[in-house]
Amino acid sequence: MPLAIVLILLVLGSLVFHFVSPWTFTPIASNWGAIDFTIDITFWVTGFVFVAVNLFMAYAIIRYRHREGIKADYEPENTKLEVWLTVITTILVAALLAPGLIVWAKFVTPPENAIEIEAIGQQWKWTFRLPGEDGDFGHTDARLITVDNPFGINPDDPSGQDDILVDDAIVHIPVNEPVLFWLRSKDVLHNFTVAQFRVKMDLVPGMETYMWLEPTVVGEYEILCEELCGIAHHAMRGRVVVDEPADYQAWVASQPTFAELQAKAPGDPALGAASYAVCSACHGAQAEGLALLNAPKLSGQDPIYLKRQLQNYKAGLRGIHEDDVNGRIMAPMAATLVTDAMIDNVIAYIGTLDDIPAPATLDGDVAHGAKLYALCANCHGKDGQGIKMNAPRQAGINDWYLLSQLKNFKQGLRGRHPQDLGGKQMRAMALTLQDEQAMLDVIAYINSL
The string of DSSP letters for 128-184 reads EEE-TTTT-PPPB-GGG--SS-TT-B-TT-HHHHT-EEE-SSEEEEETTS-EEEEEE
Q: 200 in helix, strand or coil?
A: strand
Closer CB to another protein, 78 or 352, in the complex? 78
Nearer to another protein, 19 or 265 (CB): 19
Is there a contact between 319 and 330 (Cβ–Cβ < 8 Å)? Answer: yes
Q: Is the dihedral of CA 341, 170, 391, 278 positive or negative?
A: positive
Distance between first and last Cα of the chain: 68
Nearer to another protein, 103 or 252 (CB): 103
Q: How far is the CB of 34 from another protein (least distance, A)?
A: 8
CB of 117 to another protein, least distance (A): 17
Beta bridge partners of 210: 182
If the CB atoms of residues 156 and 435 are measured against another protein, the closer one turns out to be 435
- Rounded to a whole number of angstroms, the minimum distance from the CB of residue 261 to another protein is 19
Q: Among 353, 331, 372, 429, which Cα is nearest to 123's? A: 429
Which residues does residue 125 pair with via DSSP β-bridges, in sequence order? 122
Find the shortest distance in angstroms from Cβ 215 to another protein: 15
Closer to another protein by Cβ: residue 78 or 361 = 78
Return the closest-CA partner of residue 125 out of 237, 255, 240: 237
Judged by beta carbon, residue 243 or residue 288, the one nearer another protein is 243
In the complex, minimum distance from the CB of residue 267 to another protein, in angstroms, rounded to a whole number: 22
d(CA 304, CA 290): 22
Q: How far is the CB of 361 from another protein (least distance, A)?
A: 24
